[in-house]
């Protein structure tokens, strides 16, 4: 039974998740995969009372395999989706929406007024997911994804219930 059938379990990412996350990262983003050091750096900011990051993994309860992960950075009232990924065999299962929902819940907890993200211009599947959640395109970052020199579409979501002035994140 796959995680799609049983529902992957979401939990906070820990240091021991970095190796399987890197394997999934390399499979999904072979040209521009994050390095081990990048994940270590992000996790270093995800703990304690001054945390500015939230990282989550999705684990298949049948075999313990990591089938997705996502991360959010937050500062000054602004959230930024750093990464979101779902194993190919889980595409269409709703796992991407669950991961994004988790990040947006955390953006509210961080008192973010808005959340930004970059998505490859050629990744229409992800763009449609973000649009379903209310993200709107606001611009482009030319050549953002390297070494392929692929442009990024920048999208923004105003977080409901936080539109008033906030010292935020």
Q: What is the number of other CB atoms lying within 10 angstroms of the CB of residue 119?
A: 22
Position 166 scores a pLDDT of: 43
For residue range 102-116, list pLDDT tens digits in order: 999 999 999 999 999
3-state secondary structure 82-102: EEEEECHHHCCCCHHHHHHHH
11-33 b/e with 16+ CB inside 10 Å = b? Answer: eebeeebbebbbebbeeeeeeee
Residue 140 bridge partners (DSSP):
153
Task: State yes or no: pLDDT of 124 exceeds 60.
Answer: yes
pLDDT given at position 161: 58
pLDDT at 50: 86
* pLDDT score at 142: 95
Q: Which candidate, 46, 111, 108, 58, places its Cα nearest to that of 82?
A: 46
Q: How does residue 167 score in pLDDT terms, banded at 50, 70 and 90?
A: very low
Residue whose C-alpha is closest to residue 152's, from 169, 140, 163: 140
Phi, psi of 45 (to 5 degrees): -100, 10
- Partners of residue 17 on adjacent β-strands: none
- pLDDT tens readout for residues 25-51: 999 998 889 999 999 999 999 888 889
* pLDDT score for 168: 47
- pLDDT for residue 2: 43
User: Residue 121's pLDDT is what?
Assistant: 95
Active site residues: 118, 130
pLDDT value at residue 47: 84
pTM more than 0.75: yes
The predicted structure's pLDDT at residue 162: 46
Mapping DSSP to helix (H, G, I), strand (E, B) and coil, where does residue 139 land?
strand
Say whether pLDDT at 123 is over 60.
yes
Residue 160 pLDDT grade (very low, low, confident, very high; cuts 50, 70, 90): low
């Amino acid at each position: 039974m796959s995680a799609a059938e049983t529902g992957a379990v979401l939990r906070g990412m820990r240091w021991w998740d970095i190796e399987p996350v890197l394997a999934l990262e390399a499979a999904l983003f072979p040209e521009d995969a994050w390095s081990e050091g990048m994940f270590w750096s992000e996790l270093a900011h995800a703990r304690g009372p001054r945390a500015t990051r939230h990282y989550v993994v999705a684990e298949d309860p049948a075999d313990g395999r990591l089938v997705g992960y996502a991360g959010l950075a937050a500062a000054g009232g602004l959230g930024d989706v750093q990464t979101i990924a779902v194993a190919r065999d889980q595409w269409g299962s709703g796992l991407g929406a669950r991961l994004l929902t988790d990040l947006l819940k955390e953006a509210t907890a961080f008192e973010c007024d808005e959340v930004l993200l970059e998505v490859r211009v050629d990744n229409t599947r992800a763009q449609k997911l973000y649009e379903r959640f209310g993200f709107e395109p606001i611009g482009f970052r030319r050549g953002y994804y390297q070494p392929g020199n692929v442009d990024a579409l920048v999208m923004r979501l105003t977080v409901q219930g936080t539109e008033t002035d906030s010292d935020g994140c």
